[in-house]
Structures are given as structure tokens and as C-alpha cells.
Amino acid sequence: QVQLVQSGAEVKKPGASVKISCKTSGYTFTNFYVHWVRQAPGQGPEWMGVINPDGGATNYAQKFRGRVALTRDTSTTTVYMDLSNLRSEDWATYYCAREDIHTGMVLFYWGQGTLVSVSS
Amino acid sequence: EIVLTQSPGTLSLSPGERGTLSCRASQNIRTYLAWYQQKPGQAPRLLIYEASKRATGVPARFIGSGSGTDFTLTISSLEPEDFAVYYCQQRDSWMTFGGGTKVEVK
């Protein structure tokens, strides 16, 4: 079965960086785009960007350009999200998610989420 | 950026009642709208895509409709497990989500 398993919770200071992993399994890694979505406490989800595991091409939401980097390792079928220059507003749960088989830019399979806390 | 506005913010209903949730887009998004359900401590779950198509495994009581700028998610008869927060999401121009509608027990 399809699974996306994320790395554990992180506590960071303002100005630091965080790198979250998303280990995928149960499907052909290069066949489906993987997205990153974050959700601040009590807020709706917010799309951050997407990576095509087949070749590694990326697209980022304008809000995060210059601060976020998505990468992948095809040998371990893992996708990574790196967010730099953290500020208090980045305190959120971060999710990786795989597109649905029927259509792109719609997310069917999700990781369990990784809480990133940012505090001095 | 396309803005999605959901209403109402909270819907108070009893099991067995019909729930009607609204999502309005700031510009024409054709039928490129999806609906998700989220329960506390869980990731969102895809319910509807392309405005009206049910995702795999989603019960028939979840009905999506609309096109252009106005969309509706109808839950025909609320089951206890349906009390949750619902989000709409557009894919016409990258991806944005609405602010959510909480369906709570009356």
C-alpha cells in the first residue's frame, strides 16, 4: 500500500533551517509528483511547492521562493523539504502529499505530518 | 493568487441532517475544485475532485457541485464520523485552500 512517512518533530530557533524527510513506498516513485503543504495551528492548509521525482524539477509558491528547497533521492524514494531563515510564523505542521492517480494537483496520499516549532 | 472563501465558518447540525457547505473562488476556476475532510490530529482526506467526482472510497452521501466561482459540498445525511473540518482547494492556478468550515454536533 502507498505510504508516506515523515521525519519527527523539530524545535528550531529563529533564523535557523529545518530539513524534513518524506519516505515513500508502495508505488513507482518517479510516476507521481510530491507536494508540500503546511498548516499553522487553527488555520487552513497552505501549499508550499511541488517536486517531480522524475528528474527533480520543482515549483514553489511565490511566498516561499528563496527560502524553500525540495529535493529527492531516487535510490531511497525519499523527498526532502528544506526551509531556511525560520521565523515564528513558520510554526506549523508540515505535510508531504502525493497526487491522486486520476488528476494532478489534487492530493490523495498524505504523510503523517511533522510539527516544526520556532521559538527563541 | 486565487482566493477561496468558505462559508459558513461553523455549521451546527445533528446526525441525520443534511449539511451544505459553500466555497467561492475569487475568479473563474472552471471545475478545478477539490474538497477535503480533516479531523483533529490527522492529515486532510480527499473527498471530491473536479468539483463533483468522488475520490476512491468516499461514501455516496458526499456530493460536490458547482463550476466557475461557486461550489457546494453537500453531505446528504450526516453520520457521526462526518463531524470535522472541511476545506476546498483549487488547482486552476497552482494550489490554494479555503479557510475551512467546521461541522459540529448541535
pLDDT in tens, A25-73: 999 999 999 999 999 999 999 999 999 999 999 999 999 999 999 999 9
* Contact across the interface for B97 and A106, Cβ inside 8 Å: no
Alpha-carbon gap, residue B1 to B4, rounded angstroms: 10
Cβ pair A102:B53 closer than 8 A: yes
pLDDT tens-digit series, residues B37-89: 999 999 999 999 999 999 999 999 999 999 999 999 999 999 999 999 999 99
Strand stretches in chain B, DSSP E: 4-7, 10-13, 19-25, 33-38, 45-49, 53-54, 62-67, 70-75, 85-90, 96-97, 101-105
B3 touches chain A (CB under 8 A): no
Asked if B87 contacts B97 with a C-beta cutoff of 8 angstroms, the reply is yes
Question: Which region holds residue A55: left if phi is over 0, alpha if psi is between -120 and 50, else beta?
Answer: left
Q: How far is CA B80 from CA B8, B83, B106, in A?
A: 20, 6, 12
* Residue B102: pLDDT band with limits 50, 70, 90: very high
Strand B19-25 relative to strand B33-38, pairing: unpaired
> Which of A43, A46, A108 lies closest to B46 in CB terms?
A108
Minimum-distance CB partner of B87 among A44, A62, A105 = A44
Chain B positions in Cβ-Cβ contact with residue A99 (cut-off 8 Å): none
Report chain A residues whose CB lies below 8 A from the CB of B89.
45, 106-107
Give the pLDDT band (50/70/90) at residue A101.
Answer: confident
Question: CB B49 to CB A102 under 8 A?
Answer: yes
